[in-house]
Amino acid sequence: MSTQTQTQSQSQSLTSLSASVSSLRSSLSLLDSSIAILDAGIADFPRLKKILSSTRHFELTPSSTLTAAQSSLASELAPAIATLLARADGYVAKLARKKDSVVARSELLEGRLEGARGFGSGSGGGAGAGKGLGGNAGKGASGGREFGAGGRGLAGAGRQEAKAREARLKALKAKKERLGYAVERLQLQSQQRQRQLRMSVGAGLQER
């Protein structure tokens, strides 16, 4: 009876030891895998230590330094920007004055052209009246013809002058349009330069 009890007790002990051995083996396997992971993780540490000891990869700048850099950059760029804007405004104002003078001259020439047209029509009426008088009076026929020829000559000269003034007026109108286009182009260029300067100032401040 005692022998059977001992046998059962030994069997239970062996079973318990077997379970302990398998648990120990699994723990050893887990420990080996953890060691391998740690080894792979710290394998590059010596090289990183050497690099970081000789090179400063990260540097923090105080806000006071950034503020001083921004104010310095703004004080350096503000006069240049103001000068460029003043030049652009002066050139635009000059073109505007030139445009106004061209408009005034075109209006003056247009008024003269209207007066020349009225003079031409009056000369034509005088020529017709001269012809009528020459037809009614037999004695003054030659004088009426001479007066009509003179009226036609004046009318022809007036028409030629009117055509020349019309051509000049067209040229002035074309010049006025070109000046208007030039003013618009300069305004666009000025706006574009202002945007570029603002962008460059912003980029410089960000870099500082």
54-68 confidence digits (pLDDT tens): 655 556 778 888 888
Q: How confident is the model at residue 78 (pLDDT cuts 50, 70, 90)?
A: confident
pLDDT of residue 18 exceeding 60: yes
In whole angstroms, what is the distance from residue 112 CA to residue 164 CA?
A: 12
More confident residue, 50 or 119: 50
More confident residue, 203 or 154: 203
pLDDT of residue 208 exceeding 60: no
User: Worst-scoring range by mean pLDDT, 23-37, 61-75, 80-94, 144-158?
Assistant: 144-158
pLDDT of residue 174 exceeding 60: yes
> Which tens digit of pLDDT belongs to each residue from 138-169?
444 444 444 454 555 556 666 777 777 788 88
Mean pLDDT, the chain, rounded, equals 73
Q: How confident is the model at residue 31 (pLDDT cuts 50, 70, 90)?
A: very high
